[in-house]
A and B are shown apart, each in its own frame.
Chain A
């Protein structure tokens, strides 16, 4: 690039450029702009494309088998037409409920502890254990629960499945809670302490409540992940071809049914596997929409009163 011609006269500013040079400069900027835009769009497309492909495929293949009977009927014997996944849907809901009951209190509690007592040795150990736990292959969690619950009790059960899924939820919620509570400004907690809050109350009312939206998001991700887990259920919930909501009995689960139907020689069952995948997807979406709308409703309630004009003094 040649340097712009300097003006001879000292009265005019030295770096006035000719119109031609300015036009060239803008053309170069526009080209760079276009190049970068294309680059970013393609990167975004590559990132989103698999998701869109998976979703569109599941919807297009699954929707044909998505009949009302899928939701209300239990599986028909092999070779018999019809049947549904009512037991799998109920089973998954139950397993997720157990997993949440076990995983969320433990995870949120541990996360709060990690955030409040950052430097202690117990905190460092807990953090390490949570990281190891979240890195464990989920089949290992299944075998572990089989060893400590299924074998002593002598039977596969929904409860054991819930515990296995709870172990999936705990580390995810623990670390997310820790990060979210750490983001709460220290001066907020100190304000509570300065008001005469006991430490525990400051943690709950200020730390935990302020971090709640982030924790709920993390909990949803963890629950969605647990709802889709298959491996931990193989040795614990086992699966059940019949309707059962007895927590002490083996129970059906959507991922297990999808797993077995997808391998079936019958086209109808394979179609039902796709429909099951679609139902699982819808369930998770529904849960996350529900939880978010609860949060939003609370926020709206709190923001319903807008500041009146004219009293703003600072």
Chain B
């Protein structure tokens, strides 16, 4: 799966596979996911689609154990990343989240930190030696395609950036920690078409070097960037298929109804 051209310019991070087995998740009594099973190939981009409230975000939040930080949230089943069950007792969620990066629906730059400090935040939290931070930040901003735009204002407020730039800043912030998995929760919903295109191009470049899981409402986006697409409905998995197949010849009538816009 590895893309050699990228392996040269980037630190070698082996993209892991993600295997979800009978995953059930709930908020108190409200069940969000019912026995989900699917697999993401190492270095692939997997899109998760489905109508609002079908459990897409919950599924993503289980993958970096952010789900358990919500009061009353429970989960059951297995979720293996790189062959390891991440809900095992010996897995430290903090260490896990350094391997599994995440981006949110809206840009979430830390408002009190400068652009530089935003990107450096995760690196510093991980306790990397401070003399390496400068180069890590620069490389992360370059990978996120933001370096040329912010190199003269690294110590200015992150809030001075446009929405699209802020979202790429969040991308740089996530990449700086060098995760091997990247989770994206509708990362382009709040962006205009140009900003959306930039993010999609980045995803295209990341393919191979990390395993990407993308939650999206935009089926064209899923078709464009994802190798494989998972369709969720009411907390249950309806179908997983290579994107090309799922959007052209879905095997389940509910998938067909959804992708052709008959509901959702």
Contact = CB atoms under 8 A, between A and B. Distances in A.
Interface of A: 119, 185, 187-188, 190-198, 201, 205-206, 209-210, 212, 302-308, 311-314
Nearest to B72: A119
A119 B104 CA distance: 26
B106 A187 contact: yes
A188 B166 CA distance: 13
Contact of A313 (B126, B173, B195): B195
Q: Which of A191, A198, A303 counts the most B-chain CB atoms under 10 A from its CB?
A: A191
Contacts of A190: 66, 69, 104, 108
B69 A305 contact: no
A185 B105 CA distance: 13
Interface string B149-170: 1001101110111111101001
B194 A313 contact: yes
B198 interface: yes
A194 B101 contact: yes
B177 interface: yes
Interface of B: 64, 66, 69, 71, 94-95, 97-98, 101-102, 104-106, 108, 110-114, 121-122, 125-126, 149, 152-153, 155-157, 159-165, 167, 170, 173-174, 177, 191-192, 194-195, 198
Nearest to B95: A196
Given A195-B122, A302-B114, A308 B152 contact: yes
A314 B195 CA distance: 5
B162 A196 contact: no
A206 B113 CA distance: 9
Listed from nearest, the 10 A-B pairs whose CB atoms lie closest are A314-B164, A305-B156, A314-B195, A305-B153, A195-B122, A196-B98, A194-B102, A191-B108, A196-B97, A302-B157
B108 A195 contact: no
Contact of B165 (A119, A194, A209, A313): A313
Given A205-B121, A303-B160, A195 B112 contact: no
Which secondary structure dominates chain B's binding surface? Answer: mixed
A190 B183 CA distance: 13
B192 A307 contact: no
Nearest to A305: B156
A206 B112 CA distance: 8
Q: Which of B95, B125, B195 counts the most A-chain CB atoms under 10 A from its CB?
A: B125
A206 B173 CA distance: 14
Contacts of B153: 305-308
15 contacts: A188-B108, A190-B66, A191-B104, A192-B110, A194-B66, A194-B102, A194-B174, A195-B121, A196-B122, A205-B110, A209-B110, A308-B149, A308-B152, A313-B162, A314-B191
B177 A196 contact: yes
A31 B164 CA distance: 49
A191 B187 CA distance: 13
B121 A312 contact: no
Contact of B94 (A197, A209, A304): A197
A210 B108 contact: no
A201 B173 CA distance: 16
A206 to B, nearest CB: 6
A311 B194 CA distance: 12
Q: Which of A119, A194, A306 counts the most B-chain CB atoms under 10 A from its CB?
A: A194
Contacts of A307: 153, 160-162, 165
